[in-house]
């Protein structure tokens, strides 16, 4: 417990995780256990959102494997934040709690915004949308970005049904923006970006034998 908790306030305990067995058989009936002990069907939007956050985390780690050192350090910090979000989502808002759950903080969102501003400032302004791709790191960052967008949509759907930490939605929104910026950074600071040319191939005759 943290020292200095005022009388009557929620007690905050460090989040301890102990894993002794990989399989538990508790999900064999199609339900999963939340952090507060509640059981939900695995297709519930809260479970889906948490799973998408986990998927995004895996792809962020994949991108970090090929990113430059500055971007890699950022991505590793993001991975830890994404686990914070998973811990937040797995403990729904409840009244009468005696222990304060781990909740994402606005300072974590502010850090993302600062990193976006820092790295976007050195990129040339865009004149069109960027086609996902380019370097190995950039391509993987774009994949991670799209998964983060899906997670954001699912978290937003959950937020329209139940109370969630507001910072979670803001974090996921800014994260997709940061991954886009870092993808440009990894594409020679945007010099290797391929831009979308609307309707560029509408008038081209089909190649013999079908599309290339």
129-138 mean pLDDT: 93
The domain total for the chain is 1
Question: Is 2 a residue whose pLDDT tops 50?
Answer: no
Highest mean pLDDT among 9-13, 21-25, 88-92, 118-122: 118-122
Per-residue pLDDT at 177 exceeds 90: yes
The secondary structure of the chain in percent helix, strand, coil, rounded to multiples of 5, reads 50, 5, 45
Q: Give the CATH number for residue 153.
A: 1.20.1200.10
User: Using CA of residue 35, residue 167, residue 121, residue 138, what is the dihedral sign?
Assistant: positive
Residue 70 lies in a domain: yes
Give the range with max mean pLDDT: 2-6, 66-70, 166-170, 207-211: 166-170
Q: Does 110 map to a domain?
A: yes
Q: What is the pLDDT of residue 52?
A: 95
Helix (H) or strand (E) holding 39: strand 39-41
Is residue 8 very low, low, confident or very high in pLDDT (cuts 50, 70, 90)?
A: very low
Q: What is the pLDDT of residue 9?
A: 45
Residue 131 within a domain: yes
47-57 mean pLDDT: 91
How many C-beta atoms surround the C-beta of residue 106 within 10 A?
12
Residue 29 has pLDDT above 60, yes or no: no
Asked whether residue 133 is assigned to any structural domain, the reply reads: yes
Supply the pTM of this predicted model: 0.80
Q: Show the tokens assigned to 66.
A: 């090929």
- Residue 10 in domain: no
- The answer to whether 195 touches 127, Cβ cutoff 8 Å, is yes
Which of 119, 121, 101 has the alpha carbon at shortest distance from 10?
A: 101
pLDDT band at 151 (very low <50, low <70, confident <90, very high): very high
Domain assignment present for 195: no
Sign, Cα dihedral of 62, 68, 71, 74:
positive
Which range, 30-44, 119-133, 173-187, has the best average confidence (pLDDT)? 173-187
Yes or no: say if 47 and 27 are a contact pair by the CB < 8 Å rule: no
Residue 40's domain spans which residues? Answer: 31-190
- Is the pLDDT at 98 greater than 60, yes or no? yes
Q: Is 184 a member of any domain? A: yes
What percent of the chain clears pLDDT 70, i.e. is strictly above it? 74
Please check whether residue 129 is in contact with residue 195, taking contact to mean a CB–CB distance below 8 angstroms: yes
In a domain, 186, yes or no: yes
Taking CA atoms, 169 is separated from 65, 154, 181, in Å, by 26, 10, 19
**30 pLDDT exceeds 90?**
no
């Amino acid at each position: 417990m943290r020292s200095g908790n005022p009388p009557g306030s929620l007690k905050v305990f460090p989040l301890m995780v102990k894993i002794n067995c990989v399989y538990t058989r508790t999900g064999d009936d199609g339900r999963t256990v939340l952090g507060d002990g509640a059981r939900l069907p695995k297709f519930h939007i809260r479970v889906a959102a948490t799973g998408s956050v986990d998927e995004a985390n895996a792809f962020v780690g994949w991108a970090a494997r090929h990113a430059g050192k500055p971007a890699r350090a950022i991505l590793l910090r993001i991975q830890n934040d994404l686990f914070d979000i998973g811990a937040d989502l797995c403990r729904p808002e409840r009244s009468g709690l005696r222990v304060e759950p781990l909740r994402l903080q606005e300072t974590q969102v502010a850090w993302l915004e600062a990193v976006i501003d820092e790295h976007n400032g050195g990129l040339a302004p865009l004149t069109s949308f960027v086609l996902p791709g380019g370097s190995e790191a950039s391509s993987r960052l774009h994949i991670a970005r799209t998964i983060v967008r899906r997670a954001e949509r699912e978290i937003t759907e959950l937020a329209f049904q139940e109370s969630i930490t507001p910072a979670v939605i803001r974090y996921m929104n800014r994260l997709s923006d940061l991954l886009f910026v870092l993808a440009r950074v990894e594409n020679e600071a945007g010099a290797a970006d391929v831009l979308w040319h609307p309707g560029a191939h509408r008038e081209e005759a089909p190649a013999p034998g079908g599309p290339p």
